[in-house]
Amino acid sequence: MADEALAKAYGLHFDELNKIRVLEPDVAQQTNELKEECKDFVDKIEEFQKIVGTFIEVVDTVATKVEKEKLKAIGARNLLKSIAKQREAQQQQLVALITEKKMQLERLNIQYDSLQKEEQEQTEFIEQLVLQK
């Protein structure tokens, strides 16, 4: 009764330890529960921030490695293209050299045939000279 009279008149209440409080015991309990929930929430947020920070570090590390590998791949592709162009140029040079050597062979064959004819003519001429004597 006295509790109710104080609560109505002055807004004062007694808690379970018989201490005078301004808040009602239910409201004080809810406030403490909210305080604990807020503390838990803040702790979880801090833990989440640590996890996110670690995750960001890992992602940054992986991104750096991926970028490095990407640059290596681009370099290797460019080198491969360069080698392919060099081989194509070398192949063209070899084809040109083969064509030149074929032409030289043809010229030498013609010259050889000509020299054989000349040798045959000279041999016939010599035989005719020997026969006439």
pLDDT values of the chain reduced to their tens digit, one per residue, 133 residues: 555 655 555 455 656 666 666 666 677 788 889 999 999 999 999 999 999 999 999 999 999 999 999 999 999 999 999 999 999 999 999 999 999 999 999 999 999 999 999 999 999 999 998 888 7
Tell me if 13 sits within 8 A of 25, measured CB to CB: yes
Tell me the C-alpha distance between 77 and 129, whole Å.
76
10 Å CB burial of residue 23 (0-12, 13-18, 19+) is: middle
Domain boundaries, the chain: 2-132
Handedness of CA 71, 77, 83, 89 (dihedral sign): negative
Q: What is the pLDDT of residue 25?
A: 67
